[in-house]
Amino acid sequence: MDDYKKEQGKEEKDLKALEVAGGTGRFMTFFRDNYPEVDATLLELSPFYLEEAGKNDRYFRKVFERSDERKETIGELAPLNLAQGNAENMDIFEDESFDILNSIYLFHELPTEAR
């Protein structure tokens, strides 16, 4: 990440990340724990998973903010942006609006013709 930030001439707080088919948001809590200043968005088709991702995010932020050291350096952690949508058609986002794209759970869920 440091090399990427240097290459792009951006600070962590200026980066935007998207996780496609993020499920319950568990992986995004690990990502945000390491890169808390990145503006993070989770895209998920299932409204039930999105609800769980919101719960996981609220819990994560509560735990994160209990750390006095982190609160001093970062302040309050912004909520995870949650978006409901289909990975095959992400026109809810502008082209090239993210610096980082992640997808861990998506490919085994896609229909063969979409892969």
The number of beta carbons lying within 10 Å of the beta carbon of residue 53 is 23
DSSP labels, 1-34:
-HHHHHHHT--GGG-EEEEET-TTSHHHHHHHHH
Please state whether the predicted TM-score (pTM) of the whole model is above 0.85: yes
C-alpha to C-alpha distances, 20 to 58, 66, 75, nearest whole angstrom? 20, 29, 27
Question: All domains of the chain, ordered by start, with CATH?
Answer: 14-90 (3.40.50.150)
Per-residue pLDDT of the chain (115 residues; tens, 9 = 90+): 778 777 878 888 999 999 999 999 999 999 999 999 999 999 999 999 999 999 999 999 988 887 767 667 777 789 999 999 998 889 999 999 999 999 987 877 777 887 7
DSSP 14: G
Nearest alpha carbon to residue 32 among 69, 82, 78, 73: 78
